[in-house]
Structure 1
Amino acid sequence: MTDATTPLDDAGLAPARDIIDRISTAYAAKMVGQDRLRTSLLIALIAGGHILLESVPGLAKTTAAATLADTVQGSFRRIQCTPDLMPSDITGTQVYDATTGAFRTVLGPVHANVVLLDEINRSSAKTQSAMLESMQERQTTIGGEAHRLPRPFLVIATQNPIEQEGTYELPEAQLDRFLLKEIVTYPSPQEEAEVLTRIDSGALDPDHHVEAAASLADVELLQRTAARIHVSEAIRNYIVGLAYVTRNPEPYLGGDRARYIKYGASPRASIGFLQASRALALLKGRAHVLPEDVRDLRHVVLRHRVLLTFEAEADGVRSEDLIDEIFGAVATP
């Protein structure tokens, strides 16, 4: 029997590779293009983290979340966030049962394997904070009693960057709970043409579900395998060094650029790099993490953790630009 300290070899990777291939094939049967989104969703699932998706409406974020759940036979719940959404609408509540004369607990929709929080920035800060316990502790507390969430548990939240009326800023503590933040872009003309073809064929009918390609037990096997991916001491120090520079940018970027960074990344960013780079290495079929894995993840791990000043926004400076400069300032092992 193996554990997290046992080195992986090709034989140990083989079952995980097979599962990943099956999930990817089934996912592609429903989703057109969006390869970067698929990779980020798989990384979040394998690493046991959560993901924030930002895009304009109509780019199939809901379809992607539901398809991922279908491919692994996981339960799926979609929660439409609105200003009047209450915490109990997400986590659950206690209701009085007249037949027994006692209160009984009704679990909320967050008790699912894959939970889509659609337009999370439309819910109030109070409701957003209700998700913190679920995302971090993997449980909800209802009437003083803790209820464990199913495993695996993945929150996929979406937000629309172009519509500000009736929205609330996500607090830093909430943002930091997301392992990744992915920007979903428009499909290419060829991909959009393929979407139209699949609509005519009925393949993209909302009632058409993809066949399950794996099981929840397979997902847990992927998670256990990823935990055994080797991360060298040099790469661990590389990750720590990158996080340090986000908090102390002036000696590395110079005062003119460092003034754009309001807050750097927390230690959760370092943990995020460690977990996500292991998952990415597994997706690439490797039993060890390379510096290029960390570099490939730089935007999705840091763009919501390196917070910029108002001056940066006024000058058109993006967090991705500064993240690239930070990576350029730290020596690659």
Structure 2
Amino acid sequence: MTTANAAMLEKIKSGQGFIAALDQSGGSTPKALKGYGIGEDAFSSDEEMFALIHAMRSRIVTSPCFDGAKVIGAILFERTMDGEAGGKPVPELLWERGVVPFLKVDKGLEAEADGVQLMKPNPDLDALCERALAKGIFGTKMRSVVNLANAAGIKAIVEQQFAEAKRIAAHGLVPIIEPEVNIKSAERDAADRLLLKEITAALESWDGAPVMLKLSIPAEANLFAPLVAHAKVLRVVALSGGFSRADACAELARNPGMIASFSRALLEDLRASMSDDEFDASLRGAIEEIHAASVA
């Protein structure tokens, strides 16, 4: 393990803060831009759209308040990893600020079957992992979705996540496994419990370095405490899942040991029209609120 990787590992393992999710991809980018105050009439091609979202992300990661004091990690979209901010490659800039860089590696979701949406096939994953390593990325993130408490579906989703995690870990990267339970599901609590059972079983047979888990905040507070304490889990992080920031922070604070990895809840008050001072003040307020819930 390199010196940088050892320092990154220690930061993620024991850092008092949260992980920013800046990884909206093609399908979710127009929605993210709309929230930022940029409508679809502002771009006429994917290239223009991605340039606008990159400008937004650059503004975030170069803000004076975005550093490792409260933000211990950031999950990037592939184009963000390949881009620059502040005149430097984004992963390099982040780590100089004490923020550990991760990369979103999944290719999106399959149609729902057995109450879940598995990840699409990812034949280029190994090549992407090698490219990420060369750029100073520490770990990866991949997302699938649980909509119903279907035992067969949840078993399949966990098996797929851990199979892909094995491929990722073979490259020396730390995988974040994200089987998101839809917080609007009428079967949310039962789905949480099935997911806990399947993840626990998968961890028992996991023989690699510790993994990370990114989970929806459970309907029952502290349900995932056994995962937080598990020897094979480096960190359990929580997604906001559609909660407002205030609600997501309140829910998270009821789950000691879980830390935030919020996207929409982090960015919800930021607008393209803000002055730099207004932008930095708004982002600072969001960071402080999410940090407080993560270390509660």
**How does the TM-score come out when normalised to structure 2?**
0.29
Q: Whose Rg is larger? A: 1
Say which structure, 1 or 2, has more relative contact order (CA 8 Å, 6+ apart): 1
More helix by share: 1
